[in-house]
Amino acid sequence: MVTFLFILIVTSGIQILGYALVDVFLLTGFIFLLAMQNKSLKIKINWVFIFCIFMLIQVLRGMYVLADLRMIYWIVFFITLYFSHQYIVNSYKKSKIDLDFAKKVFNFSLAYFVIYGLLPIFIEDPDNFQGIYWVGSSAAFIIIIPLLASHYVIFERSGYSLANLKIPSLLIYLIVTVLHYSRTGMYLLFLYMLFLFIKTTAFSFKKIIFVIPVILISFLVLDTTRQIYYTNSESTGATEIAQVTGVLNEGMEAEEIAGDINRFLMVISVYEKFTSSPVEFLLGSGWYTSRYALKPFEASTFKSFGLNAEHLSNDKPMQITSFAAILSDTGLIGMLFIIYFFLKSTTQIIYTKSKGVLIFLGLLYINWLFFLVGNSFVSIISFLLIFPDGIIVNLARLNQRGQKP
């Protein structure tokens, strides 16, 4: 389990020339070694299996549309995805999903962010590095979901012991959000900390006295990191105050709002493509094809808003989000699979009667936020977070009422 979780989490961000290959190939090797040791994972017909078969068909469609044999990689991806899920399911049945599992998930998630945080320190322009050798920041911070889910399990199982709050670890993560200027990653941490503050300090004056300095230290670390890393905080928008002031006084620069506008326009473009024909509506255009197939619709959307679409006129593939990848590539059927997985996982989390059911449900549905801002479906873990009997569900099971610390 240690090797599996290390590969699944720590290597999920590594890319080779823009492709997230490392976690897939290493997990494939890991599962192959299990089979060689007579620990083969049996195929079980369930909805995850049917989804993976459906995606294999979509990969073949994509390979035909793109006329690209490199799509064979995605065949390996979805086969590995299925057996990775089976490995987690079997581990739960064999009672290997325990508190130690949560600690490993937390430690490997933290290690992932430590490595990610070192990139802008040792690399002159980490923005150029991302998307080539490491996943882009919009998708990279999806690992906050297993980080916070496992943290809550550890903290709650300790009886909300302040010694297990792991303040230094959370501050390290906070520094990483500043270094990569991830508003999403930063705000999710503060919302989580606010939840813990309300839950743990209720009717406890001693804990309030302890937690307030922690909050002040967090803001101090946040501001200090910004001042050290951003040489000109106003021009880089390193503080929310600077951003608001810039909007009121001078207006926002195109670069600052381009990302959010592009994501909004992509949703419109996906809808236009989705409703363009019965085949597109039901099945999409085939896996991984939207990077090219969506471009005409994106160009049309840009022009309808009076925006320049010149960047879409070249032969380079466009960047898409997870939402676009599912709805545009696999159509309504693919989206229904994803919705089913969320509903089934929701049912399983509620059924656990976990003490932190709201936290786990919240972290489950926060995946949708990452689906809209980046393409997280390039890594195995992004699927395992939402699958029934997946990572979030199993962490929730560790917090079932009656569980012993």
pLDDT tens-place string over residues 73-99:
899 999 999 989 999 998 888 888 899
**Who wins on pLDDT, 39 or 276?**
276
Which residues, including other chains, have CB under 8 Å from residue 124's CB and lie 6 or more apart? none
Predicted structure pTM score: 0.85
Pair of tokens at residue 274: 């989705």
Q: Which of 111, 121, 117, 67 is nearest to 289 (CA)?
A: 67
Q: Is 241 exposed, middle or buried (0-12, 13-18, 19+ CB in 10 A)?
A: exposed
Q: Quote the mean pLDDT of the chain.
A: 80
Higher pLDDT, 209 or 32: 32
Residue 166 has pLDDT above 90, yes or no: no
The CA-atom distances, in angstroms, between 342 and each of 232, 348, 368, 387 are 42, 10, 10, 7
Cα–Cα distance between 115 and 124 in angstroms, integer?
A: 15
Q: Specify whether the CB–CB gap between 395 and 91 falls below 8 A.
A: no
Q: What is the identity of the amino acid at 140?
A: A
Record the tokens describing residue 271, joined without a space.
């809808």
CB under 8 A, 24+ apart: contacts of 233-241: 236/181, 237/181, 238/178, 238/181
- Element at 162 (helix H, strand E): none
Q: What is the pLDDT of residues 254-264, one digit of tens each?
A: 444 456 677 78
Question: Of 355 and 77, which is predicted with more confidence?
Answer: 77
Query: Would you say 377 and 327 are in contact if contact means Cβ atoms under 8 Å apart?
Result: no
- Cα separation of 307 and 275, whole Å? 23
